[in-house]
Amino acid sequence: MNGSAAVIDLLVEWDEQRQAGKHVSPEQLCPGDPAMQTELRQRIARREQLLGIFEMPTLGASETAAALPPLPQVAGYELLEVLGRGGMGVVYKARQLGLNRVVALKMILAGANASPQDLSRLRAEAEAVAQLAHPNIVQIYEIGEQGGCPFLALEYVSDGSLAQHLDGTPLSPKQAAETVLALARAVHHAHEKGIVHRDLKPANVLLADGVPKIADFGLAKRADSNQAHTLTGTILGSPSYMAPEQAAGQTDKIGPATDVYALGVILYEMLTGRPPFKGSTLLETIDQVREHDPVPPRYLLPKTPRDLETICLKCLEKSPQRRYASAAALADDLRSFLHGEPINAQSLTLLDQVARTISHHTFDARFRGMANWMALSAPIPITVHVIAYWLLAGQPYYALGMVATTTAMVFTVLPTLLLFGVPTLRLIPAWQRKHFVTVWVGHLSAMALTLFAVLVSVPTGNAVLLIYPIWASVAGLSFLSHATEAGIYYMVAGLLFAFAVVMALTPYWAPLEVAFFMSANMTAQALYLRRLSAEPPPAQPLGAHAATTIKGGA
């Protein structure tokens, strides 16, 4: 995985500090990494610009005429009223004089200052989308320019958007399935033409006598174009409807499966009246999209058909490979559901859920430095304990000597790893860093207190070795608290609890058992983190460079 996820997390921390009224510089966010500082400085500058940009207006939302400036003159069109406006443009209801038909005229006001390259880009992208001819896609009739401002003449849809009709109220399962079925077929048509929408949401679905039509293809990009307009790592789309790969800025993973995810979000909202993820801030929503699993619709509305819930949750898989292979496959399952036939998607079994929990992780290349230190330190515990055993076995002070050896190991190796892991900890979000440090400082404190309690409570001799199963249990609880960051820690915690039982039954050998576990666990974790940080990026899918408007609204 590349460093884009690290930059996104640092942007999250920057926004948290900004909302708290504090200004933090890239140098404070990632000290000692000039390359990341440069990229972060550029991204912060773009983010500050985006904070002042409003979402492009939704077609069908009328404004009060008295509050508007005079309507401009556009050759070949009679402008009738303003449908909506935003910080980047305005949409008019207009009559195309030559054909005497009503259209929606979207004018990009910033175009007056746009470069020739920007105008060329708009024209090339509009021409690509004009090739889409589908009854569930709003058509582009013409692209033109008036007074330096480019405009698009679009099919006029009079009944407003799906977002206006939802208004937080769930629809019937049949109506939801029929609507998303029509949208899925339209999306598949676009994918066949090499175009990925990347901003599907209810506000971009217009209704004409109940027929849904996908809008806002105006800045979509053909997959076979040689122009790369999308910046690597740029977050494109609307947060609540973004796929996880969009929320992470991973443009190399964006393709048809990204639109399938958005269709799943729309289906979820139609079934439950709310999107699966919606935080109090844009960046909180992005974090939820990336890290959290959606609440199953049946938990919110128990009468939701199980098959429709299965279809919805398959669309919302975090991994693109686990979603439907195409929008057509989604449409097929929705058709089967509506006809009372078996669907292809299957609910997760208990084993599937366990495997997914264990495979989940939030680690990436940022943890490679810590992995290297763990690999170097791994042989130390078992080596030192074997030497101590060789020197102390059979001696009357064997138990106290081995406990002293383990204590020295734990209170030397773990703080050393934390110290050398500071550069890594500085790269992760503040909440995650605090959680990590709190858990392991608490772990050391619990070990010290339990050791004190055992030493003052039990008689001398081998009884002091009972501290080892207690320590193993404490360590198991510490790893259990980290399992939300990596599911594999559930397994580590389980092994520690099992080792605690073994140590209680074999106290004499407990020092060597704990030393073996420490070295084996550090080695396994080092290899695990190295593998995660060395995974090559997947091949670029169809339409990975398709682009839509950058939007901050949900």
Quick one: residue 227, left, alpha or beta (phi over 0 = left, psi -120 to 50 = alpha)? beta
What span, in angstroms and rounded, lies between the C-alpha atoms of 476 and 447?
12
What span, in angstroms and rounded, lies between the C-alpha atoms of 319 and 361?
12
What span, in angstroms and rounded, lies between the C-alpha atoms of 389 and 510?
11
Q: Comparing C-alpha atoms, which of 274, 260, 357 is closest to residue 311?
A: 260
What span, in angstroms and rounded, lies between the C-alpha atoms of 308 and 438?
42
Match 């195409």 to its residue by tokens.
326
Identity of the residue numbered 156: Y
Residues 513 and 351: beta-carbon distance below 8 Å: no
What span, in angstroms and rounded, lies between the C-alpha atoms of 547 and 185?
20
For the chain, helix (H) and strand (E) counts, in that order, are 21, 9
Identity of the residue numbered 326: S
Q: Comparing C-alpha atoms, which of 15, 22, 84, 28 is closest to residue 427?
A: 28
CB contact set of 230 (below 8 Å; sequence gap of 6+): 221, 236, 251, 545, 546, 547
What span, in angstroms and rounded, lies between the C-alpha atoms of 233 and 35?
15
Active-site pick, 15, 199, 216, 333 = 199
What span, in angstroms and rounded, lies between the C-alpha atoms of 438 and 432?
10
Match 């709310």 to its residue by tokens.
274
Q: Comparing C-alpha atoms, which of 431, 386, 432, 435 is closest to residue 406?
A: 386
Length of the chain: 554
- Buried b / exposed e over 316-347, threshold 16 CB at 10 Å, is bbbebeebbebbbbbbbbbbbbeeeeebebee
Backbone angles phi, psi at 352, to 5 degrees: -60, -45
Match 């997914």 to its residue by tokens.
356
- 259 among known catalytic residues: no
Strand partners for 486: 361
Tokens (6 digits) for 101: 């038909």
What span, in angstroms and rounded, lies between the C-alpha atoms of 82 and 126?
22
What span, in angstroms and rounded, lies between the C-alpha atoms of 170 and 239?
21
Q: Comparing C-alpha atoms, which of 244, 237, 234, 353 is closest to residue 288?
A: 244
Which residue blocks in 319-429 are alpha helix, DSSP H?
327-338, 350-359, 368-377, 379-392, 398-420, 422-425
Residues 410 and 450: beta-carbon distance below 8 Å: no
Q: Comparing C-alpha atoms, which of 163, 161, 167 is closest to residue 83?
A: 161
Please give the DSSP secondary-structure letter assigned to residue 226: S
Active site positions, annotated: 199
